[in-house]
């Protein structure tokens, strides 16, 4: 199987990110129009202090994406990250792509000075819980 490259996304990836995350958000019953989604994606890419996107590329095709937004969290004493989205196309799941994206997101958040990285898992998507737990994330209630 061809190797996967994880890299920070630039404007040239915005269309692919929009395509992937539109599917992700629809799976979660989040109704956002493509134009609004694209505007939000462009707003992050254009203003890096808002956060960052990572893309997973295989043979030049975008097969996954992750989005970390930056927040100022009292519970973490300041600059922190929120892993808002991590999506891998279904046909590329269970091949380590999600792990690569998550590890890169953790590393990039740390490099950006985040003291913590938080996320939430939809109860209908419990399959990914073990991925996050293997990387030190814990359940809070």
> How far apart are the C-alpha atoms of 75 and 90, rounded to whole Å?
35
- Answer whether 47's CB lies under 8 Å from 63's CB: no
CB atoms within 10 A of CB 94: 10
Q: What is the pTM of this model?
A: 0.90
DSSP assigned state of 48: G
Query: 27 in helix, strand or coil?
Result: helix
Tens of pLDDT, residues 21-50: 998 888 877 888 899 999 999 999 999 999
Average pLDDT of every residue of the chain: 88
Q: Which residues contact 33 (CB under 8 A, 6 or more apart)?
A: none
User: Tokens 């003291």 label which residue?
Assistant: 115
Express as a percent the part of the chain with pLDDT over 90: 65
> How far apart are the C-alpha atoms of 80 and 116, rounded to whole Å?
5
| Confidence at residue 45, expressed as pLDDT on a 0 to 100 scale | 96
Q: Which residues contact 131 (CB under 8 A, 6 or more apart)?
A: 98, 99, 102
Question: pLDDT at residue 114 above 80?
Answer: yes
* Token pair of 79 as six digits: 């600059």
CB atoms within 10 A of CB 19: 15
């Amino acid at each position: 199987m061809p190797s996967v490259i994880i890299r920070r996304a630039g404007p040239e990836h915005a269309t692919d990110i929009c395509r992937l995350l539109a599917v992700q958000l629809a799976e979660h019953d989040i109704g956002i129009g493509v134009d609004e989604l694209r505007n939000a994606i462009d707003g992050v890419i254009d203003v890096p202090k808002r956060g960052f996107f990572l893309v997973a590329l295989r043979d030049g095709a975008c097969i996954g994406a992750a989005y970390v937004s930056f927040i100022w969290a009292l519970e973490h004493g300041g600059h922190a990250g929120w892993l808002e989205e991590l999506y891998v196309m279904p046909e590329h799941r269970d091949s380590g792509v999600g792990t690569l994206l998550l590890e890169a997101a953790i590393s990039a958040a740390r490099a950006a000075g985040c003291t913590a990285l938080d996320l939430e898992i939809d109860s209908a998507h419990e399959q990914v819980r073990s991925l996050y737990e293997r990387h030190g994330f814990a359940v809070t209630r």
